[in-house]
Amino acid sequence: MAEDKVYPVDKERAAHSLINIDDYHRLYQQSIDQPDIFWAEQAEKFVGFFEPWSKVFDGEFAKAQVAWFKDAKLNVSWNCIDRHLPQRADQTAIIWEGDEPDSSLHITYRDLHQAVCRMANVLKARGVKKGDRVCIYMPMIPEAAYAMLACTRIGAVHSVVFGGFSPDAIRDRIQDSDCRTVITANQGVRGGKLIPLKHNVDKALEQCPDVHSVIVVKHTEADTGWHAERDVWYHEAISQVDDQCPAEVMDAEDALFILYTSGSTGKPKGVLHSTAGYLLQAAMSHKYIFDYHEGEVFWCTADVGWVTGHSYILYGPLCNGATTLMFEGVPTYPDASRFWQVIDKHHVNIFYTAPTALRALMSLGDEPVKSSSRASLRLLGSVGEPINPEAWEWYHKVVGEERCPIVDTWWQTETGSTMISPMAGVTDLKPGSATLPFFGVKPELLDAHGKVIQGAGKGNLVITQSWPSQIRTVFGDHQRCVDTYFKAYPGYYFTGDSARRDKDGYYWIIGRVDDVINVSGHRLGTAELESALVLHPKVAEAAVVGYPHDIKGNAVYAYVTLMTGIKDSDDLKKELIQFVADEIGAFAKPEIVQFAPGLPKTRSGKIMRRILRKIAANEIDHLGDTTTLAEPSVVDNLIEHRVNR
Ligand code: WTA
């Protein structure tokens, strides 16, 4: 069994790690038994405060009412920039690698300070104040980082919307958190393709009358529509403001950012993170898990539109004074060796990516990897979805040439930072296992009755006590936060994932048990996809499930019932797929659409997704109990017409 395969820590390398496995166990125990002492020490080590806290932790976990470092004062942009200026003004903070291989920039901490101050002053000049929400819809360019940090500098709350979202999705997010300012670029460029970001914003804002300012970075030469009273060019605006801007004094629990994520029901939720706890745990996990050493180049390939980009491109690394790489492009442009070429070009030491990218690259063979040296690489990371042992082995053997440990980091938008992961050079590895919990994280597995499973076993993954970077609320709807995460198992935070724990206490994440589909590491809610489909005038009803996919991990399978009298056709399938792309974003496109004259429902009218999942996965011999179906013949029809792959 894969479980039996262990890659022990290399002794020589362990000698250079920040801590060893005995330290891990000792510190872990302290973090659980005496969290106040543990976190106070870590906070002093990792974060600079303007004023100290009165209490390390206060609140009630079960009600999602928690405060960390109560009354302390600090500023995130100050921690990520100003604090480093005395020692590292000339050190590169951000290496930017553009879409084209000949475009890159080195931005020092001094440059970053100036750019962020200017952007902050532009926001102030447009009337943005502490507590205001600012929507950021940007390509992966340095200005995205400036924008996020500028918000934190003046205490505005950023809501980054991934550049792949459609105008409707942008509109919903702007409206939900009442953003009055948007920061965008005229166009994005990815894999040689142009993305009409400003155009999308213009469309979204047709229904957002309260937005008074759109700050536009001129990233390409293309023209864009213009609303003179509302739109400002970034390059013009920054030339009119000072390059000094004091960092606002923020409370430890002041809101830092909102990030929308899909859940099992309803519209995406605005997950809200606060200041001190988030920053501390992002920085600390970056340092310990990746064994980050002074001077190293760290590359996380995520987009800043997702939480991984927030915590491990920006806040964690910059809080630690690291050099972080930001990549605008895609792994296969101009060819499939791009990742490895970038590693050589910028002497990347630590590389952190998603299994879906690895599987896609693996399918293209070893040659593109072998065309590079990767001599600088010291360790590898994985995030976003379970990494299958085959992809793990390929990553280890071919990319890392068996000398780089792999840290498989399990976490969520809601957790803010990594919760279960090996620490490089500390933890013995097992391919496919996220291994052991991070400091302060106490996971448990619960059985179907909500009982704690002891020892080895499989169950629903919950967290039993508060951690500093935990979600504070769902923006504008605290009850939804309680209902979503703290209601299924009272007293516990429910992750939505199931997992297995082996005899060594190692965790193996299995996947979502709720109605969230993880497609290429992107979270999609079935409810969201279904609402998009039924908006189409020809669709009467839709049910969406995930099914296993070789490259994407999971893909979307949509069952669609058409309005009476509408004829199905391949063209209509294509139209519906495009319709979802327009409603949400291209990354949410269903892989498969099956027209269904009826959907399997219980007598009370509830769609039986369990059956739909089985049909989508081609597991028609194990449909399980179908006796509660209102009309059993519906299932026969679905099976007969299922889309074979
Ligand atoms: C999944 C991304 C297995 C999981 C940081 C989780 C993983 C969801 C892993 C959160 C991993 C993330 N192994 N599954 N290492 N990392 N997941 O909010 O299902 O975009 O609940 O955060 O991704 O996705 P999110």
pLDDT of 317 > 70? The answer is yes
Beta-bridge mates of residue 437: 420
Phi-psi region at 374: left, alpha or beta (left = phi > 0; alpha = psi -120 to 50): left
Could you tell me which residues come within 8 angstroms of residue 504 by beta carbon, excluding any fewer than 6 positions away? none
Arithmetic mean of pLDDT, 87-111: 98
Could you tell me which residues come within 8 angstroms of residue 135 by beta carbon, excluding any fewer than 6 positions away? 158, 159, 160, 161, 170, 173, 174, 177, 179, 181, 182, 183
Lowest mean pLDDT among 160-164, 208-212, 631-635: 631-635
Q: How remote is the CA of residue 384 from the centroid of ligand 1, in Å? A: 4
Residue 621 banded pLDDT, cuts 50, 70, 90:
confident
All CATH 3.30.300.30 domain ranges in the chain, comma separated: 520-641
Specify the pLDDT at position 518: 94
Alpha carbon distance 317, 93 (integer Å): 9
pLDDT tens profile 119-145: 999 999 999 999 999 999 999 999 999
Specify the pLDDT at position 632: 84
Arithmetic mean of pLDDT, 609-630: 88
The protein residue whose alpha carbon is closest to atom 7 in ligand 1 is 385
Alpha carbon distance 645, 641 (integer Å): 12
- CB atoms near residue 636 (< 10 Å): 10
452 labelled binding-site residue:
no
Residue with tokens 């669709």: 539
523 labelled binding-site residue:
yes
Return the amino acid letter for 231: D
Lowest mean pLDDT among 350-364, 408-422, 624-638: 624-638
The protein residue whose alpha carbon is closest to atom 15 in ligand 1 is 410
Which value, in Å, is the radius of gyration of the alpha carbons in the chain? 24
Arithmetic mean of pLDDT, 73-94: 98
pLDDT tens profile 508-542: 999 999 999 999 999 999 999 999 999 999 999 99
- CB atoms near residue 472 (< 10 Å): 26
583 labelled binding-site residue:
no
- Pair 440, 39: CB distance under 8 Å: yes
310 labelled binding-site residue:
no
pLDDT of 1 > 60? The answer is no
Q: Among positive and negative, which fits the CA dihedral 487, 629, 263, 183?
A: negative
Task: Give the highest mean pLDDT range of 43-47, 598-602, 630-634.
Answer: 43-47
- Orientation of helix 570-583 relative to helix 167-177, angle to 10°: 30
520 labelled binding-site residue:
yes
Q: How remote is the CA of residue 426 from the centroid of ligand 1, in Å? A: 22
* Local structure of 499: helix, strand or coil: strand
Lowest mean pLDDT among 4-18, 240-254, 272-286, 585-599: 4-18
Phi-psi region at 64: left, alpha or beta (left = phi > 0; alpha = psi -120 to 50): left
The protein residue whose alpha carbon is closest to atom 5 in ligand 1 is 412
Could you tell me which residues come within 8 angstroms of residue 497 by beta carbon, excluding any fewer than 6 positions away? 410, 460, 461, 509, 510, 511, 512, 513
Q: How remote is the CA of residue 419 from the centroid of ligand 1, in Å? A: 10
Alpha carbon distance 27, 163 (integer Å): 40
pLDDT tens profile 207-263: 999 999 999 999 999 999 999 999 999 999 999 999 999 999 999 999 999 999 998
pLDDT of 2 > 60? The answer is no
536 labelled binding-site residue:
yes
Alpha carbon distance 490, 371 (integer Å): 53
pLDDT of 645 > 80? The answer is no
Could you tell me which residues come within 8 angstroms of residue 430 by beta carbon, excluding any fewer than 6 positions away? 2, 3, 5, 6, 7, 502, 506
Beta-bridge mates of residue 97: 104, 327
The protein residue whose alpha carbon is closest to atom 24 in ligand 1 is 412
Q: How remote is the CA of residue 573 from the centroid of ligand 1, in Å? A: 30
Could you tell me which residues come within 8 angstroms of residue 167 by beta carbon, excluding any fewer than 6 positions away? 200, 201, 203, 204
Protein residues whose CB sits closer than 6 Å to any atom of ligand 1 = 261, 306-308, 383-386, 408-413, 434, 495-497, 509, 511-512, 518, 523
- Pair 61, 466: CB distance under 8 Å: yes
pLDDT of 418 > 70? The answer is yes
Specify the pLDDT at position 313: 98
Arithmetic mean of pLDDT, 560-586: 96
All CATH 3.40.50.980 domain ranges in the chain, comma separated: 109-251
CB contact burial 154-175 (16+ within 10 A = b; e otherwise): bbbbbbbbbbbbbbbbbbbbbe
Arithmetic mean of pLDDT, 564-592: 96
* Burial category of 22 from C-beta neighbours within 10 Å (exposed 0-12, middle 13-18, buried 19 and up): exposed
Q: Which two tokens stand for residue 131?
A: 């507590």
Strand residues in 378-481 grouped as ranges (E): 379-383, 406-409, 443-446, 457-463, 473-474
Find how far residue 230's CA is from the centre of its chain: 31
Strand pairing report for 255-261 and 269-274 = antiparallel
Specify the pLDDT at position 126: 98
Alpha carbon distance 37, 56 (integer Å): 8
What does residue 170 show for φ and ψ, rounded to 5 degrees?
-65, -50
ipTM: 0.99
DSSP symbol at 381 = E
- Orientation of helix 35-46 relative to helix 275-289, angle to 10°: 80
Specify the pLDDT at position 264: 77
pLDDT of 22 > 60? The answer is yes
Q: Which of 516, 523, 554, 587 to mutate to test the pocket of ligand 1 (most atoms within 8 A of CB)?
A: 523
Alpha carbon distance 546, 292 (integer Å): 36
Residue 186 banded pLDDT, cuts 50, 70, 90:
very high
Alpha carbon distance 224, 235 (integer Å): 15
Arithmetic mean of pLDDT, 549-571: 96
Specify the pLDDT at position 369: 98
CATH class, domain 109-251, is: alpha beta
DSSP symbol at 165 = B
Q: How remote is the CA of residue 111 from the centroid of ligand 1, in Å? A: 34
Specify the pLDDT at position 478: 98
pLDDT tens profile 49-70: 999 999 999 999 999 999 999 9
Q: How remote is the CA of residue 124 from the centroid of ligand 1, in Å? A: 36
Q: Which atom of ligand 1 is closest in space to residue 516's alpha carbon?
A: 19
pLDDT of 99 > 70? The answer is yes
Q: Which atom of ligand 1 is closest in space to residue 495's alpha carbon?
A: 21
Find how far residue 144's CA is from the centre of its chain: 16
The hierarchical CATH code for the domain 520-641 is 3.30.300.30
